[in-house]
Amino acid sequence: MPYRKRTDGQPLANWQEDRNATHRTVRARIEPHPGPHEALEILRDYRRAASTLADTASAIAHLHNLALIG
């Protein structure tokens, strides 16, 4: 969790700025990538006929593979 700016207008300590910079670097690498939790969310909220679930799961796998290729 990054350190927030102080309400009194004082700057953060150098070590807090360094940790915030590290946090931003790690977060920038992780956030753009779609994770498996998004696919699980789609399947959890699935409200169509059960017979179409296999097609939906196949489409999700296909899109995931396309995302991996870039």
Give 19-54 pLDDT, tens digit per residue.
Answer: 888 888 777 665 555 666 666 666 676 777 878 888
Position 23: which residue type? H
The pTM is what?
0.41
CB 5 within 8 A of CB 12: yes
Residue 3 contacts by C-beta under 8 Å, 6 or more apart in sequence? 12, 16, 19, 20
Token pair, residue 32, equals 């753009």
Token pair, residue 47, equals 């409200």
